[in-house]
Every structure is written in C-alpha cells, then in structure tokens.
C-alpha cells in the first residue's frame, strides 16, 4: 500500500464513517492496478493461489525470479541512464491530473 493515510482513516475524515473504507480505497488510488496505471510501480507480482501466506516457498520463488529478471536488466544499463530514468520517474509522479487541469 502506498498512502499517507489508511482507507479507514480517510473514510472517517471524508464521510465520518470508517465502514466506507472500500470507497475510500477507490478514491485514494492505492490498489496495485491503480499504482501501475499511474506509473508509481513497475510491475504487479502475482501471488500463489490464496495469497503468499499460504505458500511461502512459492511466493519466494516468484519474487526471486522477478528480482533476478530486473537485476539482469539493471546490470546491463549504464549508471547514468539508470539515474536519469529514476529522476524522470519521480518527476512524473506529480504530474497526475495536470494535463486535464491545464486543458480545462
């Protein structure tokens, strides 16, 4: 989760009702698909059936494979390019909604 407030807290502030946490979660855009669409995260890593807590070994294998794949890419990329990509990624995170606001 990537948020400054949990959904229950957000719902309590906005609607004075912590039970509206699902609605708050949608508004906060903190689900994995939301974060992927916003380019905050690079990838969604699948969990074993039923969740990682049901099969730690499988979860570790999946995660290890993803980390290895990314390390291969990172090791093949020059440091200057990695730094520039990281800089651009964090710069664009604040741009969400700016295009729509500037055309309104």
Rounded Cα gap, residues 11 and 5, in angstroms: 10
* Contact predicate 13/29, CB 8 Å: no
Rounded Cα gap, residues 97 and 37, in angstroms: 13
pLDDT, residue 101, reads: 56
**Six-digit token string for 65:** 């494979």
Kindly state the average pLDDT of the residues 1-16: 86
Round the average pLDDT of the chain to a whole number and report it. Answer: 89
- Scanning the structure block, which residue is given the tokens 């295009």? 99
Task: Tell me if the pTM is above 0.75.
Answer: no
3-state helix/strand/coil string of 39-95: CCCCCCCCCCCCCHHHCHHHHHHHHHHHHHHHHHHHHCCCHHHHHHHHHHHHHHHCC
pLDDT digit string, tens, across residues 31-80 = 889 889 888 889 999 999 999 999 999 999 999 999 999 999 999 999 99
pLDDT, residue 93, reads: 82
């Amino acid at each position: 989760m990537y948020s400054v407030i949990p959904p229950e807290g957000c719902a309590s502030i906005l609607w004075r009702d912590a039970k509206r946490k699902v609605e708050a979660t949608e508004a906060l855009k903190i689900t994995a698909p939301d974060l992927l669409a916003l380019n905050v995260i690079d990838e969604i890593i699948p969990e074993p059936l039923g969740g990682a807590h049901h099969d730690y070994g499988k979860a570790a294998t999946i995660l290890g494979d993803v980390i290895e794949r990314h390390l291969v890419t990172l090791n093949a990329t020059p440091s200057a390019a990695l730094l520039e990509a990281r800089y651009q990624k964090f710069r664009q995170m604040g741009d969400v909604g700016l295009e729509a606001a500037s055309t309104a």
